[in-house]
Amino acid sequence: MKKIKVGVLGGYRGTSMINYSKQANNVELVAICDKSQEVLERQKENLKGENIAFYDNFEDFIKHDMDAVVLANYANEHAPFAIKCLKAGKHVFSEVLPVQTMKEAVELIETIEQTGLVYAYGENYCYMPGPYEMRKLYREGKIGEFEYGEGEYVHNCGPIWHSITYGEENHWRNNMYATFYCTHSIGPLIHITGLRPVSVTGFESKMIKRHLDVGSKSGQFGIEMIELENGGIIKSIHGGLYKDSIWYSVYGSKGRMETAREDARAGGVHVIYVNSDKEECDYASGELVSYNPKNEQAAAAFGHGGSDFYSMYNFIEKILGNDEADTIDIYEALDMFLPGMFAYRSVLNGGIPMEIPNLRNKEEREKYRNDVMCTDPEVAGDQYIPVFSKGNPEIDPAVYEKMRLMWEKESGANSGYTRAAFKQGSKTN
């Protein structure tokens, strides 16, 4: 059997993809790159006895003999690395988010089109059992035409902020605006319906002390109200409210379906409730659902309801030439992300609706070729926008020092939390 040689950039979240490679018989993990010595040392220990090359810099790593690269580096730096990998002839699996600027979006699309290589966006929440079954029912026409839907990704990361930002004032998690990290809530609804977003109105919540106390500079949560090409509306909410929630609902012209609310303790995203006319759908309400029974056992060991397994599984299948492989291409990835990017532009413009460009059309790309507006000063230059719409908050450097010390203490002591999270490849998100 042909084995796809895979390299992984970023050894925290990258652990999930490393673990995938360990158990799949058509993948060979050949190289890992992380600029952090500590991360490299831990991976060496994790992979003791295996024939894997370790790199502390991308320039040497990309020269390694491999077919594909998994990008699990910083969330705002995926596109430049994806472009370099594609130009070096490697297929790319990109963690969330796909791009930081519109300029990157245009460049990335054009590089993918020119190289013809596989680009798969790792929006794993689309592959959670509930949303995936909702996709199947929607595509079978059981719910009718999409009219309204909601997606929630609420995660209170406050208690672990030190271990996901390491006391770095400019870690991407401290510098992301309220509507940036939007594809866990929007993505599944786009993947269920296949409909393109055409306009968005954004909302930014206030800043709160709980967040400022750990060094986050943005509003507590963001909301996107998105109009789709068929006139249907999505409400997406994501961010750091106090109690976590992952939840999706879809109303169609023939019925409604939704995953279980966390507080119902009924199985969360593993369960869907369907309420549609009997002749359309005799799905038993509240039944446990599974996406692909064939792989159920393998997926069970993976994070985020087994979805971490399926995003990688489909990527490898696609490279191997399986046309049925359900990957998320760059156009769909941008349908999931641009609503968040333009929602913030809506906020910055006083809450007016913003049109969402369709970069599938070559002529629409010209307007954005030099658009580097973002919250990263080095990338944005004079197009810099603040992390909070009314201006960045003043945060005492002592806050970041405290976070750094907490992180050092935790990682130095190799606390149970850190070690377990490292093995599973997900501290958060």
- Interface residues with ligand NAD (CB under 6 A) are 9-13, 33-36, 39, 58, 72-75, 95-96, 122, 124, 164, 304, 426-429
C-beta of residue 401 within 8 angstroms of C-beta of residue 167: yes
Task: Characterize the bridge pairing of strands 233-239 and 245-252.
Answer: unpaired
**Least spacing, CB of residue 321 vs ligand NAD, in Å:** 26
Bridge partners (DSSP) of residue 121 are 94
Which of 122, 151 has the CB closer to ligand NAD?
A: 122
**Least spacing, CB of residue 36 vs ligand NAD, in Å:** 4
**Least spacing, CB of residue 284 vs ligand NAD, in Å:** 30
Helix H or strand E segment including 268: none
Which of 96, 403 has the CB closer to ligand NAD?
A: 96
Which of 85, 228 has the CB closer to ligand NAD?
A: 85
Which of 119, 146 has the CB closer to ligand NAD?
A: 119
**Least spacing, CB of residue 307 vs ligand NAD, in Å:** 8
Q: Report the candidate in 231, 133, 125 with the shortest Cα–Cα distance to residue 185.
A: 125
Residue 105, CB half-sphere, CA atoms under 13 Å: how many?
Answer: 31
Which of 216, 429 has the CB closer to ligand NAD?
A: 429
- What are the residues whose beta carbons fall under 8 Å from the beta carbon of 168, sequence distance 6 or more? 174, 400, 404
**Least spacing, CB of residue 415 vs ligand NAD, in Å:** 17
**Least spacing, CB of residue 231 vs ligand NAD, in Å:** 30
Q: Report the candidate in 284, 245, 274 with the shortest Cα–Cα distance to residue 261.
A: 245
Alpha-carbon distances of 408 from 12, 165, 396, 414, rounded to whole Å: 16, 11, 19, 9
**Least spacing, CB of residue 97 vs ligand NAD, in Å:** 7
Which of 10, 188 has the CB closer to ligand NAD?
A: 10
Which of 37, 51 has the CB closer to ligand NAD?
A: 37
Q: How many CB atoms lie within 10 A of CB 323?
A: 6
- What are the residues whose beta carbons fall under 8 Å from the beta carbon of 216, sequence distance 6 or more? 161, 173, 174, 240
CA 273 to CA 287: how far, in whole Å?
A: 7
C-beta of residue 91 within 8 angstroms of C-beta of residue 267: no
**Least spacing, CB of residue 349 vs ligand NAD, in Å:** 27
Which of 34, 224 has the CB closer to ligand NAD?
A: 34
CA 230 to CA 166: how far, in whole Å?
A: 44
